[in-house]
Amino acid sequence: MTAAKSRMIDQQGLVELAVEDDVRESARFNEDIAPTEAKERTWSKWNIAALWVGMSICVPTYTLGGVLTAYFGLSVGEALLAILLANVIVLIPLTLNAFPGTKFGIPFPVVLRSSFGILGSNVPCLVRALVGCGWFGIQTMFGGLAIHLLLSALFPAWAALGGVGEVIGFFVFGAMNLYVVIRGAESIKWLETLAAPLLLAVGIGLMMWAWPHMSMTELLAQPPSRPEGASVYGYFFAGLTAMVGFWATLSLNIPDFSRFAKSQKDQIVGQILGLPLTMFFFAALGVVLTAASESLVGQTIADPVNLIGMIDSPAWVVLAMVLIIIATLSTNTAANIVSPTNDFQNIAPKFINQTRGVLLTGAVGVLLMGYDLLQKAGVVSQGVSLEQMYSNWLLGYSSLLGPIAGIMAVDYFLIKKQRLDVPSLYMDHHAYPAVNIAGFIAFGVPVALTLLSLLTGTMNWFYDYGWFTGSALGAVVYYLASQALATSPQVGPVPLAASEVVK
């Protein structure tokens, strides 16, 4: 083991890495996952709030109320309460796990090297990456449909293409997303800052359009779909878990964005301003518009793209589809491409840079959506609805991601006490082990219990409340395992030995 030459410099609470050849030549380093310099940390609380507004206003958010009422047995009022409460709860791991990104300027995969090891970090990274690629495919499908309806309104002959036109739209929209991310963080910042006020204005306009065509009193009075007399608590907490799971992905990789924040205050205030109320408002908009759709177009439609596509005015359809494309683009680029791009780079930083990571994300997303694309092209018959598919995902992947969120928070705040040896995070055989056994024990125990629940039908509560049970158990097991293995070289010391922070 050789001493690190690179230094960490404290710039008023934001630690900047002065990179020397020892880090730059390491196999674990490339410029795209390098710590941001202090001058690159330009995102204010308003930029971060705009990021969350841009990510929250999307088609899946619009359908959340319908998912909770149709598949989780909640009433409309219970569904909206679950959505609001879930997004307040998810602020806790979001703000906590954003701290190391803001302080040290490091992205999610590099933060994970502290708790899972330099090489071991690839396992949770790939779990997160595959979920992101899946959501990239789903959101790209919605964006592709909007492009298809836009072109159909402009060129009537295009409508005759049917599902093939949607497939073409899918690839066109996917390419637009990849281009934005390849251009870098400033491109995403510009897109989100531009889109946020526009999308909020459109949402308010749609609410005003739909409100006279439905009765909120009657809507809230509708009975839930769960069995009569069944206790609300089990259904509510299962739905709450699913809603927390909606942003379980971002609660992990939030350092990918907080590394550009000006300060901890900016990342905390920005997330509080941007997330809970936006999610609640747009989910409520989905409930209201779905209820009003019978009066507006003659049938109940839960998908805003198809609902707006049925308006008998080509000019309004064109305008609405452009806005939906912007909304889906602002969500997809930030929420579903940035993290997989960084996660794939973590595997082999010298061979996979940002551009290759973006292209790999796009390729995996297309493969995961292959069956749906074949359905649209008419090659295979229609199967499970997309709404059913991602409502099942919300519970399933939250059970996998919850433990990682708990492990990250405990590692940074309780084990490492907010101190990281950043140069050693980019090098083998320094302050951090190749594989941190404590991290894998803490990840493996909740996952094993989840699989036991699914395979045996016992302990259903553990799966139904997967994010809560997984994050809590992962956090506790990680703390205990780290204490028990504190002297093991497979866990590593509280690091700052290889480099001193220069004031």
**Rounded alpha-carbon distances, angstroms, from residue 402 to 39, 116, 375, 469:** 33, 15, 33, 8
**C-alpha 461: how far from chain center:** 24
313 CB-near residues (< 8 Å, 6+ apart): none
- The per-residue pLDDT for 376 is 57
- Work out the angle at residue 260's Cα, subtended by the Cα atoms of residues 33 and 106, and round it to the nearest 5 degrees: 35
The CB density around residue 185, as the number of other CB atoms within 10 Å, is 19
Rounded Cα gap, residues 10 and 144, in angstroms: 46
Rounded Cα gap, residues 454 and 471, in angstroms: 18
**Rounded alpha-carbon distances, angstroms, from residue 18 to 41, 100, 105:** 15, 17, 12
In the chain, how many H helices and how many E strands?
Answer: 26, 3
- The per-residue pLDDT for 499 is 43
271 CB-near residues (< 8 Å, 6+ apart): 48, 49, 52, 91, 94, 95, 98
Rounded Cα gap, residues 76 and 82, in angstroms: 10
Q: Is the full-model pTM beyond 0.75?
A: yes
**C-alpha 189: how far from chain center:** 16
Per-residue pLDDT of the chain (503 residues; tens, 9 = 90+): 444 566 666 666 788 888 888 889 999 999 999 999 988 999 999 999 999 999 998 888 888 888 888 778 899 899 999 999 999 999 999 999 999 999 999 999 999 999 999 999 999 999 999 888 988 988 898 899 889 989 998 998 998 888 889 889 999 999 999 999 999 888 999 999 888 888 888 888 888 888 888 888 888 888 888 888 888 888 899 889 888 888 888 999 999 999 999 999 999 999 999 999 999 999 999 888 888 887 877 777 777 777 777 777 778 778 888 888 888 899 899 989 999 999 999 999 999 999 999 999 999 998 887 656 556 555 444 444 545 555 555 556 667 889 999 999 999 999 999 999 999 999 998 889 999 999 999 999 999 998 888 888 788 888 778 889 999 999 999 999 999 987 555 554 444 444 445 44
Rounded Cα gap, residues 357 and 181, in angstroms: 10
Bridge partners, 17 (sequence order) = 8
- The per-residue pLDDT for 422 is 93
Q: Could you list the beta-strand ranges (E) of 22-165.
A: none
Question: Which residue is listed with tokens 């509560």?
Answer: 461
Q: Which two structure tokens, joined as six digits, stand for 345?
A: 């780079």
**Rounded alpha-carbon distances, angstroms, from residue 394 to 1, 402, 456:** 44, 12, 21
The answer to whether the CB of 43 falls within 8 A of the CB of 260 is yes
- The per-residue pLDDT for 446 is 93
492 CB-near residues (< 8 Å, 6+ apart): 431, 432, 433, 436
- The per-residue pLDDT for 202 is 82
Q: Which two structure tokens, joined as six digits, stand for 167?
A: 């497939």
Q: Which of 118, 95, 125, 132 is nearest to 443 (CA)?
A: 125
- The per-residue pLDDT for 385 is 52
Sheet architecture: strand order including 501-502? 14-18, 7-11, 501-502
The answer to whether the CB of 407 falls within 8 A of the CB of 475 is yes
